[in-house]
Amino acid sequence: MKKQTWKAGNMVYPLPVVMVSCKEEGKPANIVTVAWTGTVCTNPAMVYISVRPERHSYDMIKNSGEFVINLTTKDLTFATDYCGVRSGRDVDKFKEMKLTPLPASQVGAPLIGESPVNIECKVEQILPLGSHHMFLAKVVAVNIDEQYLDEKGKFHLEKANPVVYSHGEYYDLGELVGTFGYSVRKTKPNKKKK
């Protein structure tokens, strides 16, 4: 295999693409689209988002110390893109995209009703890293859309058609190709019938 060496850059793709809702006292709620996001720790549950300081939502998150990560779906792709390229200084993104703000249980920022999963977060630390600053946050509540629960209470996010982001393009996730631990799982021997 022949390889080329490129200059240093971010090539960890695809990434989750999420809509982050935020609310600062005295200002209307806003939504910013973020692809620089992910899990940091399981216990305690912690996540991060990285936002450019010049973004309208940056100061809202910094001043309130809260935000909600709203997972996106194929049906939300247009709104996801719009909320990433339009500024909340100029438009009400909830109104323009006909998204439903719902009250959160632990933070002042609203949930996006159309999102299958809403992750309520409280900022623990802000790390200035260069072009983006990382908001390291503790997860204080998770809200799920009950339509994706089966009769046994198992959550099926795949039925919501989640999307990911890669080099300026959005993709749906496609088919299941494995499950955690399947590469080492031992198969059960067939019992012989008597």
Read off the tokens for 122: 């409280």
CA angle (11, 6, 36) in 5-degree steps: 20
In this predicted structure, the answer to whether residue 193 has a pLDDT above a threshold of 60 is no
Average pLDDT, the chain: 93
Q: Is 63 a domain residue?
A: yes
Question: Can you tell me the distance from the alpha carbon of 179 to that of 24, in angstroms, rounded to the nearest whole number?
Answer: 40
Q: What is the pLDDT of residue 39?
A: 96
Read off the tokens for 152: 């046994």
Q: What is the pLDDT of residue 71?
A: 98
Q: Model confidence at 175, in pLDDT bands (50, 70, 90)?
A: confident
pLDDT tens digit sequence for 3-47: 988 888 888 889 999 999 999 999 999 999 999 999 999 999 999
DSSP letter (8 states) at residue 149: B
Q: Is 104 a domain residue?
A: yes
Which structural domain, as residue segments, surrounds residue 109? 15-172
Q: What CATH number did the domain enclosing 57 receive? A: 2.30.110.10
Q: Is 100 a domain residue?
A: yes
Question: Can you tell me the distance from the alpha carbon of 76 to that of 142, in angstroms, rounded to the nearest whole number?
Answer: 19
Question: Can you tell me the distance from the alpha carbon of 68 to that of 141, in angstroms, rounded to the nearest whole number?
Answer: 9
Higher-pLDDT residue of 186 and 121 is 121
Q: Model confidence at 189, in pLDDT bands (50, 70, 90)?
A: low
Q: Is 106 a domain residue?
A: yes
Q: Is 178 a domain residue?
A: no
Q: Is 183 a domain residue?
A: no
Q: What is the pLDDT of residue 174?
A: 81
Q: Is 34 a domain residue?
A: yes
Q: Is 40 a domain residue?
A: yes
pLDDT tens digit sequence for 49-81: 999 999 999 999 999 999 999 999 999 999 999
Q: Model confidence at 115, in pLDDT bands (50, 70, 90)?
A: very high
Q: What is the pLDDT of residue 177?
A: 85
Q: What is the pLDDT of residue 178?
A: 86
Number of H helices, E strands in the chain: 3, 12
- Considering its fold, how many domains does the chain have in total? 1
